[in-house]
Amino acid sequence: MRHAKPSTIYLKDYRVPDYLVDNTHLHFELKPKATLVKSRLKIRRNPAAGEGLPPLFLDGVDLILLSIAIDGALLSPEHYEKMPQRILVAVDKPEFFLDIQTCINPEDNTTLEGLYLSNGMYCTQCEAEGFRRITFYPDRPDIMSKFTTTIVAPKEYPVLLSNGNEISRGPCEGDHHYVTWEDPFAKPAYLFALVAGNLQHLEDCFITASGRKVKLQLFTEEKNINKGDHALRSLKNAMRWDEAVYGREYDLDIFMIVAVDHFNMGAMENKGLNIFNSACVLASPETATDATFQRIESIVGHEYFHNWSGNRVTCRDWFQLSLKEGFTVFRDAEFSADMNSRAVKRIEDVSLLRTNQFAEDAGPMAHPVRPDSYMEISNFYTLTVYEKGAEVVRMIHTLLGPRGFRKGSDLYFERHDGCAVTCEDFVRAMEDANQVDLVQFRRWYSQAGTPQLTVTDYFDETLGTYVLTVRQSCPPTPGQREKSPFHIPLKLGLLDKNGNELVLDGQGTTQCILEVTEAEQSFEFTELSEKPLPSLLRDFSAPVKIDYPYSIDQLLFLMSNDSDIFNRWDASQRLAFLALSDLQQAYRTGGVLQLQPELIAAYRSVLLNRDLEPALVAELLQLPSEQSIAEASVHIDAEAIVAAREFALQTLAEALFSEFRAQYTALKVRKSFSLSAKDIAERKLKNTCLLYLCATETADALALAQEQFDTANNMTDKAAALSVLINHAGDKQVNAAIEQFYQCWKEDAQVVELWFGQQSRSSRRGNLSAVEKLIQHPAFDLKNPNRVRAVIGGFAKGNFSQFHRSDGSGFEFLAEQVITLDKLNPQIAAQQVIPITRWKRYTGDLARKMKIALKKIMDSGDLSGDLYEVVSKSLN
């Protein structure tokens, strides 16, 4: 049993800090098991905090305290009190220097927070609360301090990096050397970083709009040095884009990126020294898929954009996390949309939101974009804070228009530069710059749950008026039973029977934004000669579920006529959902499974339509994933979902075999690799065809996959072929492909992870035993989050059919892994357990078995605070 339940922290308890830290001087002597950290803090009573000299709180976790002194005088133990994760120091003057020496153990640090070793290289991760694992410090983001950092290390670590500019270097006694860095910008401790290792680097430069020259460097182990070009190119594009779109320039003379193999998240925006998970920065055409290239571009952009939205203007407290994350995700999404296909980017983001964020909103960990309480802040780096937070910023953009939004962001950066602020400050800047009222809009920050819109309509033929009635509601979430109406921008157009857009205002406007603010509200359109077909929630203008009684014919019509590309795709998804829901129903009642001929015909015409862009064709042909079907169901019947989707896929594959085959052949031309949007789209369409073809498991189709596997000149095609072989070929062919691939790529960490992931996601019956073998594979390592995410996450989050086997073996397996993992890396354990925490939505036995697995974790002994929070909330 655990010793003490972690306590809950509340937003309403926020108080300004008692003391401020103007300067932070750090001195590191790096040793794997005993790194010495000396810190000298210039501390001052916070004038905003009141009278008197209260004790000073310093956070500290897993530290050995060697000494502590005020203005040079060593403190004896009666001057400070040691508590479990902090010390309390008695203070008798309003300003002083505090010197602290601690000893830490990077080598045994498997949490990957604070200072740790990854493949022999020292690196740090301080967000959110990792700095307290380096030294005693008031570790909260509203304390902003100017840092200087000296790193002393043996010369086998030639590269010694920290934030800001290098100001001196030289030899030390023995075979050691040192480098000192100074960061001229005050920052919270969570943006501190240190890297030391034997690294190579790529170098480039960027001239800012005002003509300053910035040195760009990307550091990695020597073997990966050929995989950094794409990230550097993306960085330059991001720097240019932020100048053009937001008027934001970079502010230091150097910008560094470091790739590390062991990392809990995607990347980290430390000032001037971004640290990246290798998987989110390293790529070459031979080793990375198109999706990886695009992910890298967006994450490089994301971390770079944080320099303004996060670093120059930071968060007052961790409840405000979406202030920087929601805004920065919105910025990176727009950047990606401008660099690639805007429609495809939107489709991908909305799919992610609907499948995974909606599930979060409907689960035991549901929380508002700005949570009002937490036990472990690491559990709140969620799709709600990031992706829904970005949708909230996007809605402001939609309501104000691009120019109004830019006025708001300019005011926000100007007002709050150098400060730690709140979501409220962001919204207020938007209001003040535009003289608008966003009072009701603020509920998007405080109310959890996915709003549901129900739309009905009525046409009066004699008057020519069309009335849309919108009702909104939002389901209860933990701690919030009743919700008040949201302010929802509902973008729409109206189509006539020929598919033309109707003019809505006598001035040629064919699209409008209805501002829905009430629980029930009607909107009238006049002077129409026929009943229109509404194209609702264009471009997904709000993160809501929307229901309108579309007939199949109307959806087919929208799918081929809507001018809004997003809604054409959305119509295809609605159609598929309708069909899949009928199939599930038939499966459950023992009826005959059947796909309507109209649906097959629609897919055929998409496939044969030469006027459609390949990118859109590829998107229209995607059947909703099992996970997204599950999310859209009130009660999740996993077996019926798997059966229905499998049937739909098979039926389409067989009915359209020759069309898929012809399209595949047409796109199969051999050409040199490029990352142009057109080539990416064509590869995606080609591989979608291959997937359908191989779903038939005919020798003919599998031979195509094998040929593609053998001859592909890029990883997108190679991996797509491997995946369909793994899922559909016979054992002998599969084993040969798996083995051959591994032998070819076993030295490449990113490709090995892709290889692990494909195997654990295989829908072959009984795949759990294959996953259990992967856990035993010499390349698997529970201490490496990427391997864990590939194998354990690949299975629990990416293998719907096998994970949800009715015997519950998948859940038991996950519980065991999570228990072991929690001892090594609590953050990763808490991330991995999520799939079984949503047990309440499953039907019958599966729910019961998930709950048993959760209880087993709960009763397994001393849980970390991270895992405890997630498991206990889900058992409530």
Contact predicate 708/686, CB 8 Å: no
Residue 825 CB, nearest approach to Zn ion (Å): 20
Return the number of the residue (328 or 714) whose C-beta is nearest Zn ion: 328
Return the number of the residue (104 or 189) whose C-beta is nearest Zn ion: 189
Closest CA to 154 of 287, 331, 30: 30
Closest CA to 713 of 759, 661, 665, 668: 668
DSSP 204-229: EEEE-TTS-EEEEEEEE-GGGGGG-H
Return the number of the residue (123 or 528) whose C-beta is nearest Zn ion: 123
The pair of structure tokens assigned to 585 is: 């129903």
CA 687 to CA 341: how far, in whole Å?
18
Compute φ and ψ for 186, nearest 5 degrees: -65, 140
CA 466 to CA 524: how far, in whole Å?
6
CA 835 to CA 853: how far, in whole Å?
11
Number of residues forming the site for Zn ion (CB under 5 A): 2
CB atoms within 10 A of CB 131: 28
CA 366 to CA 830: how far, in whole Å?
15
Closest CA to 88 of 179, 18, 7: 18
Return the number of the residue (356 or 759) whose C-beta is nearest Zn ion: 356
Peptide bond into 128 cis (omega under 30): yes
CA 593 to CA 585: how far, in whole Å?
9
386: which DSSP letter? I
Amino acid at site 592: V
**Do β-strands 314-315 and 420-421 pair in parallel, antiparallel, or remain unpaired?**
parallel
Compute φ and ψ for 142, nearest 5 degrees: -85, 5
Contact predicate 181/196, CB 8 Å: no
Q: Can you name the residues that pair with 258 across neighbouring β-strands?
A: 219, 275
237: which DSSP letter? H
Distances (CA, A) of 484 to 359, 473, 569: 21, 8, 31
Contact predicate 108/57, CB 8 Å: no
CA 269 to CA 275: how far, in whole Å?
7
Catalytic residue among 303, 391, 619, 631: 303
CA 660 to CA 654: how far, in whole Å?
10
The pair of structure tokens assigned to 675 is: 């990352």
CB atoms within 10 A of CB 808: 18
**Do β-strands 545-547 and 452-460 pair in parallel, antiparallel, or remain unpaired?**
parallel
Return the residues of window 322-341 that contact Zn ion according to CB under 5 A: 325, 328
The pair of structure tokens assigned to 1 is: 């049993």
Closest CA to 395 of 459, 461, 360, 440: 440
CA 516 to CA 751: how far, in whole Å?
48
CA 512 to CA 751: how far, in whole Å?
46
146-154, strands of its sheet edge to edge: 73-74, 64-70, 95-104, 35-45, 19-29, 146-154, 176-182, 165-171
The pair of structure tokens assigned to 157 is: 């670590």
Closest CA to 814 of 803, 805, 823: 803
User: Per CB under 5 A, which region of 17-25, 109-117, 244-252, 319-327 contacts Zn ion?
Assistant: 319-327
HEC profile of 442-493 = HHHHHCCCCCEEEEEEEEECCCCEEEEEEEEECCCECCECCCCCCCEEEEEE
The pair of structure tokens assigned to 599 is: 């649906």
Could you confirm whether 303 is annotated as catalytic? yes
Return the number of the residue (59 or 325) whose C-beta is nearest Zn ion: 325
Helix, strand, coil share of the chain (percent; to 5): 45, 20, 35
Closest CA to 577 of 637, 652, 641, 636: 641
CA 495 to CA 473: how far, in whole Å?
27
Residues that bind Zn ion (CB under 5 A): 325, 328
Q: Which residues are catalytic?
A: 303
